[in-house]
């Protein structure tokens, strides 16, 4: 059997191993936050934001951020229908309702016009998910948020390396959240981070993230409110510190993989992740969407991948298709896109011969 082509895996070097080993051996007692503090500082500098709190997941970062905004029962939060459940789950944790609107056919992200149409007196936030590294139209979304007094939250879990007119994804909204899962461009194994430029929101989230114990509280083990436990471990942060030292190379390698695919398939009847003028796409997950007028059997292509020991991923289902939500077939782009789309293997050191294997399967499938 040919060597396996993984759909994604992290880039781990001796540097990550050395830092993690040091954290495991020495990162205890008074040093138990050393790598966490260092990682948060490095990420703030990279992103260009004032505050950051490392968390155990992006889901946790979204949860504590939404809680600090006061989102609760009977509230509504608008987000795109095409997404992973992790973007919607924290809304439900707080007793609020996710309101799913359709996506744009080119960016696969929130349609701003539909966002504005979906606003009601119960709307308490808009979640802008930068899907697969593609960027939401933040100018329009932020303008809508300002017009109605509604905060825009950036779920930048998949958008390390993406830049919107000079501003990094995750740095523009009321707060941003990132994922460092093992599949992401930058990893800490599991993990995430909350970021913001709002000092009051930061202090509130910092308190919530530490079981409700405020930073200025002098009484030992005295929580000021009910909080959460979403801390990142020092060992995870140590891996993150090494990754931050390599961040530009990690982003560049993702863009290299995408560029090779894009060049190899430039004449195929499909579209890939866009990169509009003035933006940079981090290309976390290179994806293809087959043109409407071309016959395409997603499951057949993925089965052929599997026979050749190639990993492939389905495009996200519309969340409103899931059994825990009400179906919204009116979201016609979301309900048509996933049947014609897949994610391609894209780990950092994927070589050209392996990418040629992937492309050959796509070409054969489209030429049948």
| In a shared domain, residues 265 and 173 | no
Of 245, 261, 280, which closes a domain?
A: 245
- Alpha-carbon span 55 to 183, nearest angstrom: 17
Instruction: Give, as one character, the DSSP assignment of residue 301.
Output: H
Domain count, the chain: 2
Q: Is the pTM of this model over 0.75?
A: yes
Q: What is the mean pLDDT of residues 338-353?
A: 97
- Nearest one of 134, 115, 103, 247 to 187, comparing CA atoms: 247
Q: Which residues are catalytic?
A: 184
Q: Is residue 73 part of a domain?
A: yes
Helices (H) and strands (E) in the chain, counts: 12, 14
Q: Are 78 and 176 members of one domain?
A: yes
pLDDT of 368 above 80:
no
Shared domain for 198 and 306, answered yes or no, is no
Confirm whether 7 is domain-assigned. no
> How much is the mean pLDDT over the chain?
97
**What confidence tens digit (pLDDT) does each residue in 141-174 have?**
999 999 999 999 999 999 999 999 999 999 999 9
Q: In the chain, helix, strand, coil percent, each to 5? A: 40, 20, 40
Same domain (yes/no): 157, 37: yes
Tell me the per-residue pLDDT of 3-18, one tens digit each, with 9 for 90 and over.
999 999 999 999 999 9
150 and 182, same domain (yes or no): yes
DSSP, collapsed to helix, strand or coil, labels residue 283 as coil
1 within domain boundaries: no
Do 294 and 149 have their domain in common? Answer: no
Pair (269, 219) in one structural domain: no
Q: What is the CATH number of the domain that holds 122?
A: 3.40.640.10
What pLDDT score does 342 carry? 97
Task: Give me the pLDDT at residue 108, please.
Answer: 98
pLDDT at 240: 98
Instruction: Output the six-digit token pair for 12.
Output: 């781990």
Is residue 82 over pLDDT 90? yes
Same domain, residue pair 54 and 183: yes
pLDDT at 288 over 80: yes
Structure tokens at 353: 């011969």
229 lies in the same domain as 251:
no
192-196/51-55 β-pairing:
antiparallel
pLDDT at res. 365: 94
Q: Are residues 328 and 351 in the same domain?
A: yes
Structural domain boundaries, residue 304:
247-367
- Whether the per-residue pLDDT at 1 is higher than 90: the answer is no
Q: What pLDDT score does 329 carry? A: 96
Overall average pLDDT of the 316-333 stretch: 97
Is residue 104's pLDDT more than 90?
yes
Answer yes or no: do 31 and 170 share one domain.
Answer: yes
State pLDDT tens for residues 114-143. 999 999 999 999 999 999 999 999 999 999
Q: What is the DSSP string of 67-120?
A: HHTT--TT-EEEEESBS-GGGTHHHHHTT-EEEEE-B-TTT-SB-HHHHHHH--
221-242, pLDDT tens digit by residue? 999 999 999 999 999 999 999 9
Strand bridging mode 313-314 / 270-272? unpaired
- Over residues 339-345, mean pLDDT: 97
Beta strands in 157-250 (DSSP E): 163-164, 167-168, 175-179, 192-196
Mean of pLDDT values over 35-63 = 98
Cβ-contact 170, 195 below 8 angstroms:
yes
Q: How confident is residue 216, by pLDDT bands cut at 50, 70 and 90?
A: confident
């Amino acid at each position: 059997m040919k060597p396996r082509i993984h759909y994604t895996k992290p880039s781990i070097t001796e540097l990550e191993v050395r830092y993690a080993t040091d954290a495991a051996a020495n990162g205890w007692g008074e040093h138990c936050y050393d790598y966490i503090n260092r990682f948060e500082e490095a990420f703030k500098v990279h992103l260009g934001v004032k505050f950051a709190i490392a968390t155990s997941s992006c889901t946790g970062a979204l949860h504590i951020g939404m809680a600090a905004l006061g989102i609760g029962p009977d509230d509504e939060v608008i987000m795109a229908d095409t997404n992973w459940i992790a973007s919607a789950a924290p809304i439900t944790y707080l007793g609020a309702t996710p309101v799913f609107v359709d996506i744009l056919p080119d960016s696969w992200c929130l349609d701003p016009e539909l966002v504005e149409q979906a606003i009601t007196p119960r709307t308490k936030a808009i979640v802008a998910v930068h899907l697969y590294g593609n960027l939401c139209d933040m100018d329009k979304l932020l303008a809508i948020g300002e017009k109605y007094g509604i905060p825009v939250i950036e779920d930048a879990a998949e958008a390390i390396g993406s830049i919107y007119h000079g501003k990094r994804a995750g740095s523009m909204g009321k707060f941003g959240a990132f994922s460092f899962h093992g599949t992401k461009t930058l990893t800490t194994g599991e993990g995430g981070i909350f970021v913001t430029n709002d000092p009051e929101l930061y202090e509130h989230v910092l308190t919530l993230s530490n079981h409700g114990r405020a930073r200025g509280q002098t009484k030992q083990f005295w929580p000021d409110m009910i909080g959460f436990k979403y801390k990142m471990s020092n060992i995870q942060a140590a891996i993150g510190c090494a990754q931050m030292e390599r961040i530009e190379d990690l982003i560049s390698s993702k863009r290299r993989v995408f560029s090779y695919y894009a060049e190899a398939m430039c004449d195929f009847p499909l579209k890939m992740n866009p990169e509009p003028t003035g933006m940079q796409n981090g290309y976390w997950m290179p994806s293809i969407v087959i043109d409407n007028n071309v016959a395409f059997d997603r499951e057949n292509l993925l089965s052929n991948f599997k026979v050749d020991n190639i990993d492939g991923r389905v495009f996200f289902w519309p969340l409103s298709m899931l059994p825990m939500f009400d179906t919204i077939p009116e979201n016609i782009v979301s309900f048509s896109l996933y049947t014609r789309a897949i994610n391609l293997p894209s780990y950092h050191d994927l070589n050209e011969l392996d990418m040629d294997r992937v492309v050959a399967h796509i070409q054969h499938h489209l030429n049948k």
